[in-house]
Structure 1
Amino acid sequence: MQIGPVAVCTLADDALNSQLTALAEMKDVLVAPLTTENIGIEQIIQFCTQNPGTIRWIVVCGTDARQAIGYRPGQTLISLGQNGMDETGRIIGAEGKRPVLKNVTQAEVAYFRKTVQLVDLVDTSDQETVLEAFKTCLSAKISPVEPFESVQTAPEVSVLPGTTPDRMVSDPAGYMVIQILPDEALLSLTHFTADGRMNGVVKALTGSEIYHTVIAQEWVSRLDHACYLGRELQKAEHALKTGSVYVQDEEASVSKAKASQPVTIK
């Protein structure tokens, strides 16, 4: 897709994002969220250095993400544009919890700040205000930019293929049976020891409530088993919420749910 020189960053404001992307005048405009104050900002910088001159303005608008627990990607991005980052990668003036960029260089940040202008509408969710700022940027004169040339070599990152094990290895901590209980609107997990003795049952509304209990009880000891458990609990929670069938070890179904039959994690 050919995109215009003005992008719109809607932060964590899903409603504003939906409103803007539905407008015909935004058809060729990059409209995207930003919910992290480190990796997300790094991706913006890397896009701009790898595609020089493509984006010249970013209207930063919408509700800032997760302010209650200290994450402020909108305020952090604006601070980067105003102040840059220090020698440790910390964005100067950022008020968020982890405003540290570890995967971009000072040269990349300097190029981004030189070639991209940020419009501060953080915590503004009014569509008309955002559109007015967008149109103002769009009508501005665009000056040419030089390609990004770094004197620093980016560290080489390995790209590895996904793999599956040749055989399954049982968890010495035991195995588990996961069920959904539609009549109770709950998920259920039963833990068995490695020799097959029932050891405990957890019932909860969400998969996260169950796996936190499983971890606290030390019912899982292998990382692959823990990953498997997380996947199955996510499937079970989705089935419970949507009224579909959950069967452990099988693909998700759209059929209406009955109390699921026990299937063990071996």
Structure 2
Amino acid sequence: MNLILDDLTAIDDKLSHRHIELDPNGYFIIYIDCNERLIYAKHFTNVIDERGLAVDPETGKVIPAKGKVERTHTTVFSGRTAKELCVKIFEETKPCPITFLDHAAYLGREFVRAEIALVTGKEYVQD
């Protein structure tokens, strides 16, 4: 059983390091609140520059992928389950803040991981 889990983890780790095109409609910071029993997704806008980098639309500065960034989110979504959160973002929000299907798939995977962490009491760290 551990060998299978190790293999699956290795596949996911490798795929987490691939190049992705950034969504011009922005990005999400996902976290859980165990006391409230909710999954949160803060949406931030960005602009993609000619190099394919996300930049702050107000300052024009590149938004780093790692480290703390002081920016104001445009919207905060919350849900008790991954499905509830997906419905709020993808079906109820007009216009939808996601423009790329791979971004939508990524968010769905992350929301499921966050839900599992919420249910099991484990830590959630966004991939």
Place the TM-score, normalised by the shorter chain, in its bin: 0.5 to 0.7
Q: How does 1:1-266 map to 2 (within 5 A)?
A: 167-194=19-46, 195=56, 197-215=72-90, 216-217=92-93, 218-249=96-127
Amino acid at match of 1:202: F
- Give the total of aligned pairs: 87
- How far off is 1:189 after superposition? 0.9
Q: Deviations over 1:148-184 (max 9, x none)?
A: xxxxxxxxxxxxxxxx595221101100011110111
Amino acid at match of 1:212: V
Structure 2 spans left out of the alignment, 5+ residues: 1-14, 47-55, 57-70
For CA contacts below 8 A with separation 6 or more, give which structure has more relative contact order. 2
Which aligned runs of 4 or more in structure 1 are off by greater than 4 angstroms?
Answer: none
- Shifted more, 171-180 versus 215-224: the winner is 215-224
Amino acid at match of 1:177: I
The percent of aligned pairs where both chains have the same amino acid is: 40
Change (3 A) 1:221 1:185: same
TM-score, length of structure 2 as denominator length = 0.62
Q: Deviations over 1:107-153 (max 9, x none)?
A: xxxxxxxxxxxxxxxxxxxxxxxxxxxxxxxxxxxxxxxxxxxxxxx
- How far off is 1:197 after superposition? 4.5
Amino acid at match of 1:176: F
Amino acid at match of 1:193: T
Separation (CA, whole Å) in 1 of partners of 2:80 and 2:28 = 17
Aligned with 1:180: secondary structure? strand
Change (3 A) 1:231 1:166: closer
- How far off is 1:212 after superposition? 1.3
Separation (CA, whole Å) in 1 of partners of 2:75 and 2:18 = 31
Separation (CA, whole Å) in 1 of partners of 2:115 and 2:80 = 8
Separation (CA, whole Å) in 1 of partners of 2:111 and 2:103 = 12
Separation (CA, whole Å) in 2 of partners of 1:211 and 1:219 = 12
Structure 1 spans left out of the alignment, 5+ residues: 1-163, 250-266
Amino acid at match of 2:41: L
Please identify the structure whose Cα radius of gyration is greater: 1
